[in-house]
Every structure is written in structure tokens, then in C-alpha cells.
Amino acid sequence: MTSDNRVAILGGQPLIAAPFPRWPIWDDREREALSATLDSGGWWDGDGERAARFASDFAAYHGAKHGLAMTNGTHTLETALAACDVGEGDEVIVPGITFVASAGAVLAVNATPVLVDVDPETLCLDAAAAEAAITERTRAIMVVHVAGAAADLDALTALCARRGLHLIEDCAHAHGTFWRGRGVGSWGSFGSFSMQSSKLMTAGEGGVLTCNDDRLRDLARSYANCGRVEGEWFYHHVRYGANLRMTEWQGAVLAVQLERFPEQNRRRNQNAVALGEALSRIEGIRPQFRDPRMNSQGNYCYVFHYDQAAFAGMDLRLFEKALGAEGVPMGVSYPSLNELEVFKRGDFGPRLRASAPKIDYASLRLPVAEHAARSTVWLQHRLLLGEPDQVLDVARAVKRVQDQAAAIVAAGG
């Protein structure tokens, strides 16, 4: 093998030479919006309307009646649970594959996260596993739309209606995901979106909580605004609440991000479908299942299943390193929640002490989630904003690594 055709990890040239689009994306429109906010002197939502208007427009884009602009996607989940009156002694079902904040929000309201397994193809909450985990203490099911792939909302909405449970949609990965013509975040009691730096729309931090129910919206707004009641005296506090409001600076940036988002979402979807078709032709590679009931997928990451047996036994981390060396922007899977130290040790303070969950998380096994964490490849979403042929180079890079897998394994990376 000559140096000209060696993979990059063995000293060759990367297959993908031109960089993919940067993230985040911004231009003079964000600068102008921030300058206008500065000049207005109204920098918090009590003196402005940018954050509130953005949240309303964002909710409408996803088909939800209400949108609340908040600090981040962790606080939106906490607020949703609080508005649903979930608290001490209650249980909330949470999937094993998700960021720790999904379960952390449950702990924040003194409730118990019940961790269940995921669907092996979508990596989203398995509806049958969720139903099997319901007890008399269950108050809500938190569904996470992993990498923008919608969980089975038909099955989960029916399950929650039948069992009298709240459905909380964690949509941190799923801006622009539509299920049977309706945006995620509009199906359950609440939808929670994150605007953190890596997300599909961002102001560095931020979050939006969506819902359709007027009463739940009022309770959520009160919780996020120091227990106030909209329209009442500023120092009239009727219940416990926290200060979880988005700033006008963030609202100004996100309003511009929303303007360009539909075209970005269209481009990501087009490229994701083409990439999936190309990857499916490579032995040992299986793209995350794209349910035909989804009209579009937000694609926070592009995820595929990896079988190391088809790559000369190359372990996942070495494969990720080799693919990254070819110029592919890499991410990494979350561990299964039950394998995080916080759950193994039960270190839930200072929120929970005497009322800490009694579940033996250290002995809990979630075989599908655990396997997925060790066998799925997560690519950064910015690559889906590249030119179509550049995106298809990702599949060519995977095949190139496969063709030289034995040499890579022999060299030890």
C-alpha cells in the first residue's frame, strides 16, 4: 500500500480535505439584533418582548399553542414536571439513552426516575418497556427524541391517555422534527427544547417549553417566574417558583436563528436521507431507523449502528478516531444512564436526602441501551449542511476505513 492511498490514521491524506460548515452559524443579522437590544435598554423579559415573541413563533412552527422562553433545556424539563405536579413519592419513566439532564430534572423535583430500555433501531424510549414499568406511583413518561428521531408518538400518546399519565417530550435534539405533519413538542403535556451551543438553534444557552393547555402554561410560567401570576402585582407570589427566564439578548439571537432554520432543516433532511442510503450499502453499518411517519427529522446528530466484526474487529473508539482523521466531524454516544456514577452511587444530594430513590440503579441492566452506547457512531449535525457530494464523502470515508481495517487494527491506531 502506498502512502497516497493509506487512510489518514496510518499517515495518508484525509479523504475530506475541505472543512464542513462551522457551527454555530451567524451573520450581520444577529449583530444587528443584538445592537438593537442594547440600544433599547430592555435587556430582560420584563422590559422587552424579543424572548417572548421568539418562543411564541418557535412554538407555532412546531404546531404548539404556547411557548415559554427559558434559561435552558434542563430547566424547561424541571418546569414541565413541576407544572404537572410531579414531586416527592412520584415516579417518572425515563429512557436509558439520553443526556443526564432528562433524569436530573426528575430528581430536581424530588421524584424518582425509573430508567427503562430503548428501541434497538431508533434508540428512543421503547413503548412496551415503558408500559411494563408503570406502577401506582407513576405520574409521567418522559420521551426523548434521540438525535431528532421521533419516538413512537402514536403508541406513547395512546399509552398515556389510557393510563392517565403526563407525556413530557424531551425535544432537545429534535428542532424541526415532525410526526404525521405535526411538530414534536405539541403531542404531550409539554415539549422541552434546548438552545445550548451544540443544538440546531442556539444562543449559547436557552430553552423553550411548549404546550397546548392554558392551565399548564400558566402553572409553568408561574414556576419559571418566581411564583408570580401573570397580570398580578409584581410582588404577588402565590406558589414556589424560581427565576428561569430567558434574557432579551438570547431572544434576539434566536429570533434570527429561527428565520434561517427552515432552510437548514430542509438541507439537513435531504443530505441525511442520501447519506443513509449510501451507508446502508456498507456491510456492518446500519443507520438509525427513520420512521416513515416522520415528515422530517431534526438530526441533532447523524447516528448509525456499527458492527466491529465487519471492520476486522476494530473497536468503536478506534473506528471513531480513524473516521475523524478522514475529516468527518465526530460526536460520541451518551452512556446508558444506569452506567453513570451518579446513579451507581446514588449521589442525589443536595436535592434528595431522606427521600432519595430506593431503586438499586447499580444493579439495573438496560441491555439495549448499554449495547447502543458501545456500538453507535454519532456525527456532528453541521456536516449535514455541507454540499451533497461532500456529505456522501462521509460514506466513502467509512468504506475507506473498512477497506484498511486490518492494517489499522494491526497498527493499534
Q: Active-site residues: which are they?
A: 99, 170, 173, 196, 199, 228, 235, 245
SS3 36: helix
Q: Please choose, from the candidates 218, 206, 154, the residue with its C-alpha nearest in 3D space to the C-alpha of residue 175.
A: 206
Question: Edge to edge, what strands does the sheet with 66-70 contain?
Answer: 66-70, 207-211, 190-194, 166-170, 138-144, 91-95, 112-116
Angle at 225 between CA 221 and CA 231, to 5 degrees: 70
Q: Please choose, from the candidates 219, 86, 96, the residue with its C-alpha nearest in 3D space to the C-alpha of residue 146.
A: 96
**Residue 212 and residue 188 in contact, taking contact as beta carbons nearer than 8 Å:** no
SS3 346: coil
Q: Distance between CA atoms of 291 and 69, rounded to whole angstroms?
A: 30
Pairing of strands 301-306, 376-380: antiparallel
Q: Distance between CA atoms of 330 and 323, rounded to whole angstroms?
A: 8
Angle at 144 between CA 141 and CA 148, to 5 degrees: 150
List, in sequence order, every beta strand (DSSP E) within 195-343.
207-211, 285-287, 294-296, 301-306
Length of the chain (residues): 413
Q: Distance between CA atoms of 65 and 236, rounded to whole angstroms?
A: 26
CA distances from 254 to 207, 260, 307, 317, 361 (A): 10, 10, 39, 35, 38
